[in-house]
A and B are shown apart, each in its own frame.
Chain A
């Protein structure tokens, strides 16, 4: 019998269809979740940075705490919502890619919100009077601050992407790891390892590592070049 590494290399080199399908689904789920997380989280985080209202501190702390939400707990919550007896049971979303997107969005959103809030808050302290002097109101300052904080924001979002794509607990609970339907890289690794078929597991592990590595390289490269280009 070949060692798992040889099998893995073989699978990757031959572009095994089961393997590529799993990778494609994983990336699709995580990319969708990150996009939704940014669409909602960037304006919300910036708003939270500029707004002053009673109870703001509680919300800030809550989102900071939610960054550490254990993925299995997020998965469990989504499961309870979507299960047939749950409040959203009629939508029949449990064990679909959509359910996995929801779970991952819940994991990513607090990261994007907290990151955006802290980046925008710091910038606001520096920019506040200048923007007012130039004629920008509070609301109009939001896109300005997001754009000027773009380097830190993108770096943080890439890290969020890394966390989401490496996550297994939530997608396993709400996706169910159904072959050809909701099987992602991480759930497949879990299953294949427990079944003792290490070839596919190792192949996926290698791909996952490469993705994480290139995300970090991208974040680092971006920060480096931005420092040189933008000051």
Chain B
């Protein structure tokens, strides 16, 4: 187990390639023919109006659901590599203490008890959670819960982090704290794929943008190009605040 782990983190799982990937439920084609490559070390922000399919896209990439057609493949050939983590749009915290929530995925990953408690302690410290360590996770404030969810995902030392609306419903200073963390992760070499509703946040964080509209990926490229010269009328309307869905 331990040996596998070292090898797994030594080899890169990126890039992640989506080829003509579609996802349907019944007759509804919720994502349609997505071609996308997620490059190592970048911050990709997935944008689009409510219901465009952003959360679905992240859940598919992370391997929580399977595409109906097309393919999602990692450089490592692994069908679902361990070196990835996700913060769901509505993260579920276990009915335990903050510390136990951080310990849980590390125990699943097979770390020994001593290594685990050290990793948990480091994570608590890094995310400013030490004063909250023994508190029941479910009773934290919304912002604290979000911070814990982020800490829990980071604790696994992923190569890529999927963040679905990591700062929705947070106040400006909490949002700021989350953004700082995202920049730090990025500086450590973690690839970021996130969604955001906040255009200003997207401008601050994005290096690349993928713009989804009604289940189709209609723009994908460097952030500067997307914000300064959007190619499609939908993206122009969206940036101008006119496109609701």
Besides A132-B63, A135-B109, A150-B95, 6 more A-B contacts (Cβ < 8 Å) are: A132-B64, A134-B152, A135-B156, A148-B94, A230-B95, A230-B136
Contact with A along B169-213 (1 / 0, CB 8 A): 000000000000000000000000000000000000000000000
Q: Please report which residues of chain A, range 139-184, place their CB below 8 angstroms from some CB of chain B when the two chains form the complex.
A: 140, 144, 147-148, 150
Q: Which of A135, A147, A231 contacts B105 (CB 8 A)?
A: A135
User: Is the CB of B139 closer than 8 A to any CB of chain A?
Assistant: yes
Chain B residue at minimum C-beta to C-beta distance from A231: B138
Q: Please report which residues of chain B, range 36-91, place their CB below 8 angstroms from some CB of chain A when the two chains form the complex.
A: 59, 62-64, 82, 85-86, 88, 91
Residues of B within 8 A of A (CB): 59, 62-64, 82, 85-86, 88, 91-92, 94-96, 104-105, 108-109, 136-139, 152, 156
User: Is the CB of A127 closer than 8 A to any CB of chain B?
Assistant: yes
**Which B residues are CB-close (under 8 A) to A231?**
95, 136-139
A-B contact pairs, 12 of them (CB 8 A): A126-B92, A129-B88, A132-B63, A135-B156, A144-B94, A147-B95, A148-B96, A229-B136, A230-B96, A230-B136, A231-B95, A231-B137
Number of cross-chain contacts by CB at 8 Å: 46
Give complex CA distance A5, B99 in Å. Answer: 55
CB distance from B56 to the nearest CB of A (A): 12
User: Is the CB of A136 closer than 8 A to any CB of chain B?
Assistant: yes
Number of A interface residues at 8 Å Cβ cutoff, please give it: 17
Give complex CA distance A134, B63 in Å. Answer: 11
Q: Which of B63, B91, B138, B139 contacts A130 (CB 8 A)?
A: B91
User: Is the CB of A85 closer than 8 A to any CB of chain B?
Assistant: no
**Which B residues are CB-close (under 8 A) to A127?**
92
Q: Say yes or no: A134-B105 contact (C-beta < 8 A), given A148-B95, A230-B138.
A: yes
User: Is the CB of A194 closer than 8 A to any CB of chain B?
Assistant: no
User: Is the CB of A14 closer than 8 A to any CB of chain B?
Assistant: no
Q: Which of B82, B96, B108, B152 contacts A136 (CB 8 A)?
A: B108
Give complex CA distance A80, B156 in Å. Answer: 57
Q: Say yes or no: A130-B88 contact (C-beta < 8 A), given A135-B109, A229-B136.
A: yes
CB distance from B134 to the nearest CB of A (A): 11
Residue in B92, B96, B109 with the greatest tally of chain A CB atoms within 10 Å? B92
CB distance from A202 to the nearest CB of B (A): 44
**Which A residues are CB-close (under 8 A) to B59?**
129
**Which A residues are CB-close (under 8 A) to B94?**
144, 148
Give complex CA distance A130, B108 in Å. Answer: 13
**Which B residues are CB-close (under 8 A) to A132?**
63-64
Give complex CA distance A138, B64 in Å. Answer: 13
Give complex CA distance A136, B110 in Å. Answer: 11
Give complex CA distance A229, B95 in Å. Answer: 10
Question: Would B96 and A133 count as touching, CB distance under 8 A?
Answer: no
CB distance from B5 to the nearest CB of A (A): 12
